[in-house]
Amino acid sequence: MNKRGLQYFTLSEIEPRVWFMLTGCNFRCKGCFRPARDGGGTLLTAEETLERMEKACLNYYGKVPSEAMITGGEPTLDRAYLLSLVKGLKEKGFEKIVLMTNGYELGVDENYVHELEEAGLTEAHVDLKAFSEDIHRWYTGKSNKPVLRAIEKLNASGIELLVQTIYMPGIVDDAEIEKIAMSFASLNKNIKYRINPFVPVFAYEKVTKRPTLEEMERAYEIALKYLPNAIISRSCYREYPTPPPQKTWITVYPDLTVKRRGMKDQAEDRLSWLNHVRPRESVMEDWKKEEWDFKLRHSLVGISELGEEVKEEKGSEPVKVKFPLALHELTKTRETELDLDGSTTIREVLERLAEKYGEEFRERLIDGGEIKRSFNVYLNGMNIKNLQGIKTEVEGNAEIVILSWVSGG
């Protein structure tokens, strides 16, 4: 039976969700930051992978979650394995199964996308490294033609599609972003497109610098001219609101050993991987600068940390509500405050917002009294799906974040 290398599972501490980190990749991206690309891990069949995933989730959550993310490395390298994994997840009750891929194999194999849809895949996030063939070959070692075919196939399927590109100053910048946006607009102007910043600190090769806030926002404005669903990554840029960032996460290794890890643990993994190509001292110096830069950007965009900025006083204090870009055309603002007289519920807050911003706001966000699937609502950092849904009680000094699903990361 087909086997793939599994590096580990990651379990979210914010809400039940599991990531599969598969090893090996068919690209050799110069700026890659994932040790999983070079293989390793524990070789398992899809059935063995699912069995260990289920044990890990039951041990930690007491149940199997409804969301799974399959990433790597490159998850599509072994078609039979991936199809079995997706099918197995669907059979275990997973409602949201997301594939993170460079798309190459999906464009090479004529039936791959259709078979994934039949197996139960619900979403695909495709990394388009560059629109220009010469840049793509230089950066990845492969043609981008299969990737573009994969995007066309996914767009024509019933699988939710998000395409993302890393902004690399001087390499993949404004000109490339505009070519991508124009091309997608001719395919489907409503395609979801995310622009991520290049982070050189743990890159295999430091091919360029990190983009500035201004460069990212300019790229966003360019993309938005063609694609109304373009967004900027949540990676410390102003395209907020977003839920409070997760400080630590649970890593479960294939032998079911569990470790709570944070950014410094991740840094150590990547330092070990880069040890043979970049001096550790150089990377550590870059990491210190990155930590400082992260904290600065963090304060500039006003992200609230779970449990740190939510006041303990309750009562008649106002509730802060933050909106995603998808609602900005209606709200004309990133956030607002509502005065409360005692406690209320999420449902009543949404009704207050609908009264304030109009019927189109209600129709965009609510369907049959429930929040539409394309949005999530967080109360003080917790997804209300894991509380009492729209019946969740809200008190003074709370922070509510309405998040479009494409604003995550």
Among 129, 215, 139, CA closest to 164: 129
What is the average pLDDT across 12-29?
92
CATH match for 319-407 among 3.40.630.30, 3.40.50.1100, 3.90.79.10, 3.10.20.30: 3.10.20.30
- What's the pLDDT band for 395 if we cut at 50, 70, 90? confident
Write down the pTM of the prediction. 0.71
Asked which of 122-131, 254-263, 374-383 is least confident by mean pLDDT, the reply is: 374-383
Instruction: Please give the backbone phi and psi of residue 216, each rounded to the nearest 5 degrees, phi first.
Output: -65, -40
Compare 318 and 342 and report the one with higher pLDDT.
Answer: 318
At 143 the three-state DSSP class reads: coil
Q: Give the percent of the chain with pLDDT over 70.
A: 84
Look at strands 3-11 and 18-22 and give their pairing: antiparallel
- What's the pLDDT band for 378 if we cut at 50, 70, 90? confident
Compare 311 and 131 and report the one with higher pLDDT.
Answer: 131
The class (CATH top level) of 3-297 is alpha beta
Asked if residues 224 and 180 have their Cβ atoms less than 8 Å apart, the reply is no
Query: Is the model's pLDDT at 309 over the cut of 70?
Result: no
Q: What's the mean per-residue pLDDT of the chain?
A: 84
Supply the pLDDT for residue 240: 34
> CATH 3.10.20.30: which residues of the chain?
319-407
Residue 20, beta-bridge partner list: 9, 70
Asked if residues 181 and 225 have their Cβ atoms less than 8 Å apart, the reply is yes
CA 178 and chain centroid, separation: 22
> CATH 3.20.20.70: which residues of the chain?
3-297
Compare 299 and 27 and report the one with higher pLDDT.
Answer: 27
Q: Give the tens place of pLDDT for each residue, 68-81.
A: 999 999 999 999 99
Query: Is the model's pLDDT at 92 over the cut of 70?
Result: yes
What is the average pLDDT across 157-185?
96
Asked which of 26-30, 34-38, 53-57, 143-147 is least confident by mean pLDDT, the reply is: 34-38
Residue 22, beta-bridge partner list: 6
- Please, what's the b/e burial string for 356-387 (b: 16 or more CB within 10 A of its CB; e: otherwise)? ebeeebbebbbeeeebeebbbbbbbbbbbeeb
